[in-house]
Amino acid sequence: MIDASNVKVGSFIKKDNEIFQIIEIETKAGPARFSNYIHIKIKNLKTNKILEMKLMPEEKLENLDLQHIYLEYLYSDGENLCFMNPQTYEQFEIPQHMIGNFKDFLKEGTKVRFEIYEDTPVNVIIPETVELKVISTGSGVKGETDTTYKNAVLENNMEILVPHFIKEGDIIKVSTSTKHYVERVHK
């Protein structure tokens, strides 16, 4: 248990047998002789709904200690993504909303870091960049500057602009937030 005044954004709590992630905290001063209170926004990890709570600073919350584990992506069945623990071969169906736009970067065998509570994945840790192989490239497009960019199709079928020196077979880093080329990986 933890005092409401000690919780941090990003931490996880359990309330009414549901797991929530704290997404916003604000301490507000009470009027006149009344004490301060903590206003928090929490996201239900199962339903993805946002709730707001008003708590006294000394109120107790059940905080969760989560384990970190890498799971390997297998396939998508439409609504869920199937991942496997490579050590135990146990499979997990992860709702697509948990992964968000990162699903565009998944290919068979991609290892993704998850936070686990009671043997159940409750949160995914999205990497800032991923490494992908260039399958094909087009001809360069000359812009207003000296830099030349061209289209490239990556192994996950994503199409992005890359510098002219990138060729088929190269491994490149791509930003997961912007879906832009970052750098060529030298191996």
CA distance 2 to 58: 9
Query: Could you write out the DSSP letters of every residue in 116-173?
Result: EETTEEEEEE--SEEEEEEEEEEEEEE-SSS-EEEEEEETTS-EEEEETT--TT-EEE
Burial 25-36, CB ≥16 within 10 A → b, else e: beeeeeeeeeee
Q: How far is CA 131 from the centre of its chain?
A: 16
pLDDT tens column, 58-109: 888 888 888 899 999 999 888 889 999 999 999 999 988 888 889 888 888 8
Whether 75 and 106 share a structural domain: yes
pLDDT tens column, 26-56: 887 766 566 788 889 988 877 778 999 888 8
Whether 73 and 109 share a structural domain: yes
Whether 86 and 115 share a structural domain: yes
pLDDT tens column, 161-178: 999 889 999 999 999 999
Whether 59 and 7 share a structural domain: yes
Cα 95–Cα 154–Cα 152 angle in degrees, nearest 5: 135
Range of the domain at 170: 129-184
Per the structure, the count of domains in the chain is 3
